[in-house]
Structure 1
Amino acid sequence: MVLRRIRNMVVATVNDNLDKMENPLVMINQYLRDMEEELSKARHAVAQQEAIKADFERRLTYSQKMKKKRYDQAQIAVNSGEEDLARKALMEMKQHEEKVLQYEEIYEQSVAQLVELKEQLGKLEERIQALRDKRHTLVARANVVKAKEHMNASINRIDSNSSYREFQRLEARIMDMETKANVYTAYNFDGEQTAFTKLEHEEDVEKELQKLKEVQKA
């Protein structure tokens, strides 16, 4: 008996812990928190990619500007008969030209990557918003279930509670007392009726006796 009681207590404790672990609302909230963290990371990644794109855009613009500048300087040097200076300007122009090609490719890649990241971010935001909306519905349904479980447990607790049985016993006792009180009242009422009837009879007897006396005198 003792071992069975201990076993039941252990099983009840384990089941209670499992219920807490598998609480749908707790799991939903945790899942949403995880998704919010992922959303924050995704937004940070998009912000970083925007910064990278902007940086390569500045580099590209600068290289394009320097390429043109060195070409113009080379032309001026040639017109002035400064061939060495023109060669130097053209050499730097070629270097900037290579950078332009390099930065154009990288910039285009960064733009494509940014577009892709923003699309993924938009999908993630839509999904999380749908989960938020779904959460309200699930919370409402879970609250209804919880309320029903609580009421059922309360009803079962009341039905099995000794105080409720004692209440029923007292109710039966009161009904018994009411029955006895009604019987006593009826008895008293009948007794009073009998006394009144006796008085009426005595009056009738006296009247009849008086009549007899009058007949005898006559």
Structure 2
Amino acid sequence: MGNLFTRIKDVIVADLNETLHQKEKQNPIAKLNQYLRRCEQETAKVGKLVERQSQLKDEFRSEHSQAMEIAEKRKYQAEIALKAGEEELCQFATAEYQQYSERAERLNASLAQISEQLQELERKHEEMKRKLKDMQLRRMELMGRENVTRANIGMNQMLESDSYTNQSNLKFKDIDTYLDRLEQKVTSYFKGHTIDAQVAQLEKEMETKENNSLNLIKE
């Protein structure tokens, strides 16, 4: 039986939550909050992409610096080998110099492209953050207007509406009627018990008198 009541309670709670959810979806402010949450999520995603792009830029810069450093080193080594008459070593160092020079040029082009892309992403990300902040401020303004509107509706209904006043009077009359009925029941109950007590006392006194009379006669 307990499990049955638990299941019934769970069903009722689920239905209530679904009803509240449906009402929440119909609320314009709730819809706006949902939209802003999506905007916040998208802004956060773009922020992570900007951070990743910045890391890539640093990695490309580091690779470019290393390639340039090795290219300059191989160029110097090729010159030394040439002066020393080490033709084979000179050719090897020269080939290494060409490879690292080409790599440095390619990395430099990629670095320029990455930097340009990063700058564009940062610009758009800042624009997204400004737009999001504007929408959040706009939401606060709308929430303030909604609060004032709801408060004014409630006050107007209470202070100016005859139907609202009539409903309130009816509620007070219902309470008065209920209290009157309750007082009548209490009074009736009290009187009933008082009468019972009085009659019981009279019976007791009469019984005592009869017993006294019988005792006198016997004497």
- Tell me the TM-score normalised to structure 1 length: 0.64
Q: Quick check: 1:113 aligned with 2:120? A: no
Deviations along 1:90-131, whole A, 9 cap, x unmatched?
011111011012101111110000000001011101101111
**Aligned 1:131-210 pairs, distance under 5 A:** 131-151=135-155, 156-161=163-168, 163-164=170-171, 166=173
What number of residue pairs does the alignment pair up? Answer: 156
Percentage identity across paired residues of the two chains = 26
- Tell me the TM-score normalised to structure 2 length: 0.64
Task: Structure 1 unaligned segments of length 5 or more: list them.
Answer: 1-14, 171-218
Task: Structure 2 unaligned segments of length 5 or more: list them.
Answer: 1-18, 178-219
Structure 2 counterpart SS, 1:81: coil
| Structure 2 residue aligned with 1:99 | 103
Distance, in Å, in 1 between the alignment partners of 2:22 and 2:165 is 26
Q: Which amino acid aligns with 1:163?
A: L
Preserved CA contact (<8 Å) 1:39 1:125: yes
Deviations along 1:3-53, whole A, 9 cap, x unmatched?
xxxxxxxxxxxx987643221221222222211111111110100000011
Distance, in Å, in 2 between the alignment partners of 1:52 and 1:41 is 17
Q: Quick check: 1:21 aligned with 2:25? A: yes
Deviations along 1:156-189, whole A, 9 cap, x unmatched?
444235635838x99xxxxxxxxxxxxxxxxxxx
| Structure 2 residue aligned with 1:72 | 76
Structure label with greater radius of gyration: 1
CA 1:47/1:86 → structure 2, altered by over 3 Å: closer, same or farther?
Answer: same
